[in-house]
């Protein structure tokens, strides 16, 4: 199981939102590049970056900062937030990003999703953010009318290889992750499932590893110290 430390970018800073609420922001670092480099020294091989400004606006607000992090951290980086056309996908992959995560656009523009998958294949992931059983969009500020299971079925039929799934009700709440959700997804779909939201302690990672998810994203738990990144990497990536 791969470990993905997360950096969420808002106004050039590393922040965390509580359950996706832009009004409930905690700033954890004024220097996201330095933070990424610290993750690297602790053994991280991967990095999950989200442009929160971009997720709301639909544009690549933090592109320059993300490109710098990719260039200087030498981590394998996946990026989401505001990627709504092929030009945005091209720019990120040309900047050295390993995987681009489509969120809102995967819901609202299925033709764009098909085009991205046909051109870049495994370099495209889709982020499925679940709110009350439905898929949320636009930086979690809106909810689509499509049930998450139906959406995931459609993605698999299109040939998607990597699905990043977030239970919004768990995100940033430090109350544990939705293990049953990830067990269900892993059993029903052949896509690689990356779990996100609510991973609070090492026990959560143990339970997730038993569901056979391919990865877990760690956010607030790293910033508060409730999970040691070094221990997580040593236990689940190097065992």
Judge whether 161 and 7 are in contact, CB under 8 Å: no
Q: Which residues of 130-163 are buried (b: 16+ CB within 10 A; e: fewer)?
A: bbeebbbbbbbeebbeeebbebbeebeeeebbbb
- At 106-151, the pLDDT tens digits run 888 999 999 999 999 999 999 998 877 778 765 555 666 678 889 9
- DSSP-derived letter for residue 30 is S
Across the range 80-98, mean pLDDT stands at 96
Task: Single out the residue of 50, 52, 117, 120 nearest to residue 78, CA to CA.
Answer: 50
Name the residue ranges covered by the structural domains of the chain.
2-236
Catalytic residues: 8, 129
- DSSP-derived letter for residue 31 is -
pLDDT exceeds 50 at position 237: yes
C-alpha span between 188 and 23 (Å, rounded)? 36
pLDDT at 58: 84
- At 182-232, the pLDDT tens digits run 999 999 999 999 999 889 999 999 999 999 999 999 998 999 999 999 999
Helices 229-236, 202-210: inter-axial angle, 10-degree rounding = 20
Helix (H) or strand (E) holding 63: helix 63-73
For the record, the structure tokens of 21 come out as 């609420």
C-alpha span between 39 and 21 (Å, rounded)? 25
pLDDT at 173: 45
How many Cβ atoms from other residues are within 10 Å of residue 78's Cβ? Answer: 26
Residues in the chain: 239
pLDDT at 96: 98
DSSP 178-227: -HHHHHHHHHH--SEEEEES---SHHHHHHHHHTT-SEEEE-HHHHHTSS
Radius of gyration of the chain (CA): 16
What CATH homologous superfamily does 2-236 map to? Aldolase class I (3.20.20.70)
- At 193-206, the pLDDT tens digits run 999 988 999 999 99
pTM for the full model?
0.92
């Amino acid at each position: 199981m791969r470990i993905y430390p997360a950096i969420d970018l808002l106004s050039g800073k590393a922040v965390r939102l509580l359950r996706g609420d832009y009004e409930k922001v905690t700033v954890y670092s004024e220097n996201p590049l330095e933070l990424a480099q610290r993750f690297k020294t602790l053994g991280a091989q991967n990095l999950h970056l989200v442009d929160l400004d971009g997720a709301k606006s639909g544009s690549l607000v933090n592109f320059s900062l993300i490109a710098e992090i990719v260039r200087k951290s030498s981590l394998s980086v996946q990026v989401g937030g505001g990627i709504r056309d092929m030009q945005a996908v091209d720019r990120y992959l040309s900047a050295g990003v390993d995987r681009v995560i489509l969120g809102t656009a995967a819901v609202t523009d299925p033709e764009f999703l098909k085009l991205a998958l046909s051109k870049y294949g495994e370099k495209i992931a889709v982020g499925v953010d679940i709110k009350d059983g439905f898929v949320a969009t636009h930086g979690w500020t809106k909810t689509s009318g499509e049930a998450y299971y139906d959406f995931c079925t459609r993605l698999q039929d299109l040939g998607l290889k990597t699905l990043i799934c977030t239970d919004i009700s768990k995100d940033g709440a430090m109350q544990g992750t939705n293990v049953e959700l990830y067990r269900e997804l892993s059993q029903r779909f052949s896509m690689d499932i990356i779990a996100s939201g609510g991973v609070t302690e090492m026990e959560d990672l143990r339970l997730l590893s038993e569901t056979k998810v391919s990865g877990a994203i760690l956010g607030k738990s790293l910033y508060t110290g409730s999970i040691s990144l070094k221990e997580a990497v040593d236990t689940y990536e190097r065992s």
